[in-house]
Amino acid sequence: MSLFSGKAVSLWGIGMHVPERILTNQELEQMVDTSNEWILERTGIRERHIVAPEKQTSDLAVEAGRIALERAGLAPEELDMVIVATNSPDTIFPCTAAKVQGKLGAKKAGAFDVQSGCTGCVYALTVAVSGIAAGVWRHVLVIGAEALSRLINWQDRNTCVLFGDGAGACVLGPRREGDGRFIAASLRADGTKHDLISLPAGGSERPASKETLEEGAHFVHMKGNEVFKFVNRELPPFLQSFCESSGVEPGHVDWWIFHQANWRIMDGILRRFGVSPERAVVNLDRYGNTSAASVFLALCEALDDGRIRKGQKMVINSFGAGMTYGAILLEV
Ligand code: COA
């Protein structure tokens, strides 16, 4: 079963924030043995934004959160919960969400982080919708925020060309007159593949030591091609069965909001479904893979520029470290 039951929940407001500094493929050519052509052809990425040295993930999250709250017409004090999906928290603890709650002045809200790879945003949205639908919370702020550039080895061409920094935020609340609603969600994982994307050191398994520093074990490690194969194998049948159990044909979905990791992955899925590439919202060319922020940035831009119109349905889906994956069917 993937359909939400209980109180209907809708998207009240959305916002995003990316740092000013843009890092182009041409600049990366000066840093590692790569080329603009290789990056563009293999991924679709042209440039990405990089967080300023004095800013943290929580700062990006707060900026996006403020915009989403303003657009939702909600004061921070009216929030019941702040959830931040991130893989680059300011610190292992306290959670980034608590800092965001404090900076926003969301005095009556609880706060927690969701750390589930790039799928964290889909997991966080699902938890938020479920909490409101069940009547536990009324207003929830869900933020996907990353300063992943801090955890990347800028000498490793396998990873440094892919990721970017940024934050996207959604305010959720009970459905109001004229609103759409969150219709269904499905969350999956294959934990036997936990070694495909990882940050091996700095946790309790391998605490920081001289050795871990020398090995560069505090940076993101990724078996890129194995991730690519896993996603191409697992995602299409998962999305097909998600659509079936949610009562919608893939061909009748108005918009596909994919995790912005690689255009070849998005294109491959759309081809298998016989869906036009124009049905996908794509902005990875300008932001790269912003991990747990990525689908929120795509959704925000497409709502802001009027591509997505009231009453349209979209499948928001993501995959990432774990390996985790998941999808949400939303009508705006
Ligand atoms: N520039 C130039 N060459 C590069 C390179 C770079 N930045 N990175 C890797 N290469 C090289 C490899 O060393 C390899 O060379 P070889 O054939 O001499 O061994 C060659 O390019 C092909 O590597 P491969 O890993 O097979 O390429 P690919 O087609 O799988 O593309 C990715 C690599 C990373 C773009 C692709 O696998 C991918 O997008 N995977 C998913 C990653 C992802 O989404 N991660 C985040 C999940 S949330």
The pLDDT tens digits for 74-122 are 999 999 999 999 999 999 999 999 999 999 999 999 999 999 999 999 9
Residue 118 is encoded by which pair of tokens? 């790039």
Active site residue 289: yes
pLDDT score recorded for residue 325: 98
Which residue has the least CA distance to atom 24 on ligand 1? 225
For range 231-258, the mean pLDDT = 97
Cα(157) to ligand 1 centroid in Å equals 9
Cβ < 6 A, ligand 1 pocket: 34, 38, 42-43, 117-118, 157-158, 161, 197, 222, 224-225, 227-228, 261-262, 289, 320
What is the rounded CA–CA span in Å between residue 148 and residue 89? 9
User: For the whole model, what pTM was predicted?
Assistant: 0.97
The structure tokens 């300008």 sit at: 286
Contact (CB, 8 A) for 37 and 216:
no
State the average pLDDT for the chain: 97
Active site residue 221: no
pLDDT score recorded for residue 291: 98
For range 172-194, the mean pLDDT = 97
pLDDT above 70 covers a percentage of the chain that reads: 100
What is the rounded CA–CA span in Å between residue 71 and residue 73? 5
Which residue has the least CA distance to atom 34 on ligand 1? 224
For range 199-219, the mean pLDDT = 97
pLDDT score recorded for residue 206: 97
Cα(92) to ligand 1 centroid in Å equals 29
Cα(167) to ligand 1 centroid in Å equals 25
pLDDT at 261 over 80: yes
pLDDT score recorded for residue 88: 98
What separation in angstroms does the CA of 98 have from each of 77, 164, 208? 14, 23, 24
What are residue 185's DSSP bridge partners?
328
Calculate the CA 45 to chain-centre distance. Answer: 17
pLDDT digits (tens, 9 = 90+) for 286-309: 999 999 999 999 999 999 999 999
pLDDT score recorded for residue 215: 96
pLDDT at 49 over 90: yes
pLDDT digits (tens, 9 = 90+) for 119-148: 999 999 999 999 999 999 999 999 999 999
DSSP state of 191: G
Ligand 1 nearest-atom number relative to CA 222: 45
pLDDT score recorded for residue 25: 98
Domain coordinates in residue numbering, the chain: 1-332
Contact (CB, 8 A) for 290 and 249:
no
* pLDDT-derived band at 210, boundaries 50, 70, 90: very high
Is the CATH number of domain 1-332 3.40.47.10? yes
For range 174-181, the mean pLDDT = 96
pLDDT above 90 covers a percentage of the chain that reads: 99
Set 243, 289, 300, 317: catalytic member = 289
Contact (CB, 8 A) for 141 and 65:
yes
Contact (CB, 8 A) for 245 and 1:
yes
* pLDDT-derived band at 1, boundaries 50, 70, 90: low
3-class secondary structure, 114: strand
Cα(158) to ligand 1 centroid in Å equals 6
